[in-house]
Amino acid sequence: MKQAGRGFTLIELLMVIAIILVLAALLFPVFAKAKSAALKTQCTSQIRQLGISWHLYADDYDDQSVPSYYPSPLTGMEIAWDFSDGNQPGLLFPYTKSGLIAKCPSFMGESWSRQYTGYALNASYIGGDFWSGIDPAIRSQISSPSETVLFADAGFGQPVRANNYLRSPSDSLFVAGKVHFRHNGFANLVWVDGHASSWSKRFKTAEYESVVGSISEGDELYDLD
């Protein structure tokens, strides 16, 4: 007579479950780190594309930078580099062909009803500020393109909220226009010369918002000199 197969005992099942839990605990940080690295790589690609689109815009507009923003003459609503009239494509859309390029895959903060966010254009010196009477820069005026930030991972506050206009430390609006070091202590930047970099040197931070700040003590990496 054939005997029934021997089943697992309760202790054996508990041991198997314990081993699975241990393996999961060991592997989860590895998977999380791999996912974070993949998102950072995607972010680097997107911010580099923003830099390319900025140059294409300047090529079409007599070397002038895309404006940070200005009010619509028809509706009074904001028209910006990344969006217009509420939630419509912005001034760079004809060159990016996708709003998603302006959305960092790692940014999960308050977006102020903007569909795509996470990056900011250097408004203090390059994109200009309409209400402050500061015109967009002319590309040829930028004397050190490799040392002048163009776009950056951005945010402010705690929890971190979006800002789409990057401000230099001397700018009165710096409090709401900071760099966000969201990639394990690094921020992705693209410079005027087109190269992208991962930046960890952090300045002008505060205890209550330690993951945001500036990339230099003064304006030396923001200004046109």
At 165 the pLDDT is: 97
Residue 193: other Cβ atoms inside 10 A: 14
At 7 the pLDDT is: 62
Q: Phi/psi class of residue 220: alpha, beta or left (left: φ > 0; alpha: ψ in -120 to 50)?
A: alpha
The residues that bridge with 206 in the sheet, in sequence order, are 209
At 39 the pLDDT is: 86
The phi and psi torsions of 134 (rounded to 5 degrees) equal -100, 115
This prediction has a pTM of 0.85
pLDDT (tens place) for every residue of the chain, 225 residues total: 455 556 667 776 777 777 777 766 665 564 455 566 788 899 999 999 999 999 999 999 999 999 999 998 888 889 999 998 767 889 999 999 998 899 999 999 988 878 889 999 999 999 999 999 999 999 999 999 999 999 999 999 999 999 999 999 999 999 999 999 999 999 999 999 999 999 999 999 988 899 999 999 999 999 999
What is the radius of gyration, based on Cα positions, of the chain? 23
At 3 the pLDDT is: 53
3-class SS of residue 194: coil
> Torsion angle of alpha carbons 21, 26, 30, 31, nearest 10°?
0
At 30 the pLDDT is: 47
Give Cα separations from 73 to 33, 70, 176 (angstroms).
Answer: 47, 9, 26
Give Cα separations from 115 to 37, 66, 160, 169, 177 (angstroms).
Answer: 24, 20, 17, 27, 19
* Tally of residues, the chain: 225
At 20 the pLDDT is: 77
pLDDT tens readout for residues 121-174:
999 999 999 999 999 999 999 999 999 999 999 999 999 999 999 999 999 999
